[in-house]
Chains A and B, each alone.
Chain A
């Protein structure tokens, strides 16, 4: 992996880790780390709005929700990893073929 990529990944990790360090010890109970997707509806409910329709199905517990989120991430990662690996293999084989051609040409 080249240095540029490594540095970029470290910066991305730092951006994500910083809030965890910054608000260390604070939890959901103090209102930290709740989802912005949930805060919108929460605010609307405080204003007296009631949703006019319920989801046809929603995960019965946090555990089940985590299951499906993980599944989503796993499916995505699998596809990305598979094709990047496939492309790497193609590139490697092409290099080998070129090497072989060069050595054959030298042999003649």
Chain B
């Protein structure tokens, strides 16, 4: 999903920056707010960022015969909302743009828009919808199905967004045919990897859920209090 340095005309760079900056700023405010209100959620915030770091560094083979990397953006979106992921995403993308020559500074806005905004937004909406489904909060792994689809679509839609961004900038010869070409390169390759990412997100979410249900409850990810009353918190001394 990384659009390389120089591979977007400057007008489009400005356009995507203009869309991404307000969301990233809002994300930074959200991080400040959530860590002030619930300092005990800081480790989980760190894990969400780290999850993106790991997953986006792994270039995996796909059944199409190409390689691509997952994004890791679904986990943070479900836990903290999409704007927080936008801010975390900038850190990941900067690391890759500066040290790996992967992505770029001029295309940072566009790449943040796909991986940090559209993907996480999709995950968040899907999960919020899932929470409303009757019985989705019951034990027995039903909630994990929602997590899977949230992460799956976050990953896939990140790449679909990249394909749309390139088709808008390079409608050769038409937008539709460019879209077909870029969707073939990005989105089709991504399908099996999005499934793998969905599974890995379920695994790590399951860990967090078992170890700190109290924090997830405060973040509004689980609605336990309504069901079982107050949850005991483990004592923390750092």
Contact = CB atoms under 8 A, between A and B. Distances in A.
Contacts of B68: 35-37
B146 to A, nearest CB: 15
B21 interface: no
Interface residues of B, number: 74
Interface string B179-203: 0011001100110110110011011
Contacts of B235: 90, 94
Interface string B27-41: 000000000000000
Contacts of B102: 37
Given A26-B65, A33-B66, A69 B195 contact: no
A34 B189 CA distance: 11
Nearest to B211: A87
B220 interface: no
Given A19-B61, A19-B65, A37 B2 contact: yes
Given A15-B195, A53-B106, A87 B212 contact: yes
Contact of A73 (B5, B58, B170, B236): B58
A58 B101 contact: yes
A102 interface: no
B185 A75 contact: no
Interface in B1-59: 1-7, 9-10, 43-44, 46-47, 49-59
A74 to B, nearest CB: 9
Contacts of B225: none
A20 B61 contact: yes
Contacts of A103: none
Interface stretch (B91-99, B119-127, B128-136): B91-99
Nearest to A95: B234
A80 B66 contact: no
Nearest to B187: A36
B202 A8 contact: yes
Among A4, A5, A32, A53, chain B packs the most CB atoms within 10 A around the CB of A53
Nearest to B1: A37
Contacts of A86: 43
25 contacts: A15-B193, A23-B61, A35-B59, A36-B67, A36-B159, A36-B185, A40-B7, A51-B4, A51-B6, A53-B6, A53-B104, A53-B106, A56-B98, A56-B105, A57-B99, A59-B99, A68-B99, A72-B95, A75-B53, A80-B50, A87-B43, A87-B208, A87-B211, A90-B235, A94-B234
Interface of A: 4-5, 8-9, 11-12, 15-16, 18-20, 22-23, 26, 31-37, 39-41, 43-44, 47, 49, 51-59, 65, 68-73, 75-80, 83-84, 86-88, 90-91, 93-94
